[in-house]
Structures are given as C-alpha cells and as structure tokens.
Structure 1
Amino acid sequence: MTSVLAQLAGVFSQLSLLSFGGANAVLPELQRQAVSVHSWATPQQFHSLFGLSQAAPGPNLMIVTLLGWHVAGIGGALVATLAMVAPSALIAAIATRLWHGLRDRSWQRTVQAAVTPVSAGLVAAGAVFAVRASTATVTGAVIIVMAAALALTKRVHPLAVLGAGTTLGLVTTMM
C-alpha cells in the first residue's frame, strides 16, 4: 500500500506543477498515467470517475480525489488531493509575493501575455478530452452540442445546463 501511495504522490505532485488553468488542463496526461502507465483504472472506469467528478459540486480537481480513492481508499484520496494541491499552492504563494514586488516592471506584462495562451491551450486540451469521453454515444454528443449552444448563445445558469443534461442522460439510459 505504501508504494501505491508513493506512486500517487509522485504522479500528482508532478501534475500539480503543470496544471496551469486547473486540474482539467492536465486531464489527458492524468488519464495516460492512470490508465496506460500505472493501470490504476480502465478507460471506462476513468471516464466514469471523470463524469462523476464533473457532476459533483466543488472544484474541478475532484477527479484527483476520486481516482486516489479508487486506487487506495481514503488514504489514496488524501494523498492524491494533497499532492495535487500542495506543490502548486506553495509555488503560487511564493510567486505571488515576488510578482507583487515586481509589479512596476515592464517585462511583467509581457510574461503575463505569454502565459495566458499557454494556459488556455492546456484547458482546451482538457475540454477536448472531455468531449471525446462524452461522445461515446449519440446521446452524449447531442448533450454536448446542446450544452455548448446554450452556454454560447443564451444567459442560462451553468447549474441549469448541468441539471438538464444530466436528466436527459439519465432518461435516455433508462430507456
């Protein structure tokens, strides 16, 4: 059990340092590590855990906690979550303090402008992963298109979109 916890800590602490834009930015690598490298979950199990993490309220890193739980119970959930949060939180705290002290430097705006598209690209890669995982069925594809259309064209609360999509998904799977 200790070696599994150490593996979880190693994987998630590394991903923590790459997760510009949140845990969804490293979702493709998280899936590769969990499914292909460590065999902690099958592709179907991983997609189920991801779906559950997105349906649950709370931070987008819930997949990390659920995967840790799946692999090693409560200890795995704690280790995975702490390993994902602690390194980046520590670096963010230090960087914020340093960044604030350098706020009058002209190069600061250049660095911010350079990091923003990288972060957006990583988040977009996570979105593509989620779309691929959700389009395994025609119903999933229809729900994605409907949710995207609502989000882009109407001022609909995200919880309403989530509730409607979940209800549609449940109704169609029970038929």
Structure 2
Amino acid sequence: MSQIPALIRVFAYVSLLAVGGGMAAFPEMEYLSVDVHHWLTKAQLIHLYSIGQMAPGPNMMMIVAVGDWAAGAVGALAVLIAFFLPTALLTYAAGRGWKRLESWPWRDSIQRGLAPVSIGLLLAGCFTMAKGAIFGVETAAIAAGVLLILLQYKINPAVLVAASAVVGFISFR
C-alpha cells in the first residue's frame, strides 16, 4: 500500500511525456520503475511492453501490470487513473484552446515544432528498449529482420512479435 503514492506520481508524470505515443515515455518509465523504485526488472518491463504491442487496444495498457506487480489490484487501478486522467484533461483543454487560436500566427509554427519533438522522444524510447532487448547476435538478427520487414511490407506488428517469439524460443532453448 505504501507504493500507491509513488505509483501515482510516476505514472501521472510519465503520461505527460507520451507526446509521441507510448514509446516516447518508455525511457523515463524504465528509469523510474526499474532503476529508482525497483518495481520490476528491465527485462520484465520490455516483456510487458512487447505483450502490450500484441494486445488489442492501447499498447500502454501494460502499465496496469506494473501497478499490479508493485501494489496489487489497488496499484493497478491507481496507475490506470494516474496515467490516463492527466493526459485526457490536458488534451481536452488543449483542444478547446487550439480551436480558439485558429487564426493565431504562431499556431502553425507550434505544430511544426512538435512533430520533431515527438519523433525524438519516440527514437529515444526505441534506443532504450533496444539496449535492454538486444544482447547478442541472435537478438540483433531478429531485430534487424523485423525492421527490414516493417520497412518493406505493411504488416501488423503483432504478427512480427509472435513470429519473433517463436524464433527466440527455437534459438534460445
């Protein structure tokens, strides 16, 4: 129960970093939940995120498992509310304000400036996850294969996650 305030603080903060999607928030989520609070290991967090990619709905629902791991069902509920409520309120307020600023000359510049920020946050998340998931020739080959397939074909990433799991099972058994 003593973990609840920390869970709320961490996931309310991390939710505000998810400008470019869940991967944008991944480096800070890893730092806070693995290195600072020790709620789970880096490998466990990467596994949860990977499963979140395959599950229907928003991939960041995996945060509920972190809350459950740290503080049971109450922790799961606290994390869920802390992660989605701040961004929902911020999005609502920004949407209303953005509509009013339609003729504002800075509006286009802000929109153009946010796109590279989102991409930078997304790339930081990708590199953070890669450092924890790629640990040898086999895992590097799986990652490179998935990247090449995604660049060449339009395919559901869940299929690639499942296929990678099969390849990993065969390679590491």
By the TM > 0.5 criterion, same fold?
Answer: yes
Gaps of 5+ in 1: none
Greater alpha carbon shift after TM alignment, 44-53 vs 4-13: 44-53
2:54, 2:158 within 8 Å by CA — same for their partners in 1? no
Amino acid at match of 2:26: L
Amino acid at match of 1:107: W
Amino acid at match of 1:96: G
1:53, 1:62 within 8 Å by CA — same for their partners in 2? yes
Count of aligned pairs between the two proteins:
173
Q: Deviations over 1:44-87 (max 9, x none)?
A: 33333333333433312133112111111221111112101100
- Aligned pair in 2 of structure 1 residues 162, 133: CA closer, same or farther (>3 Å)? same
TM-score where L is the length of structure 2:
0.90
Q: Deviations over 1:1-26 (max 9, x none)?
A: 1x311110011111112221122212
Q: Write the distance in 2 (CA, Å) between the matches of 1:12 and 1:132.
A: 22
Instruction: Name the SS of the counterpart of 1:19 in structure 2.
Output: helix
Gaps of 5+ in 2: none
Q: How does 1:9-48 map to 2 (within 5 A)?
A: 9-48=8-47
TM-score where L is the length of structure 1:
0.89
- Aligned pair in 2 of structure 1 residues 124, 88: CA closer, same or farther (>3 Å)? same
Counterpart of 2:70 in structure 1 is 71
Paired-residue identity, %: 33
Q: Deviations over 1:125-167 (max 9, x none)?
A: 1111122222023322111101100111223343432332222
Greater RCO structure (CA 8 Å; 6+ sep): 2
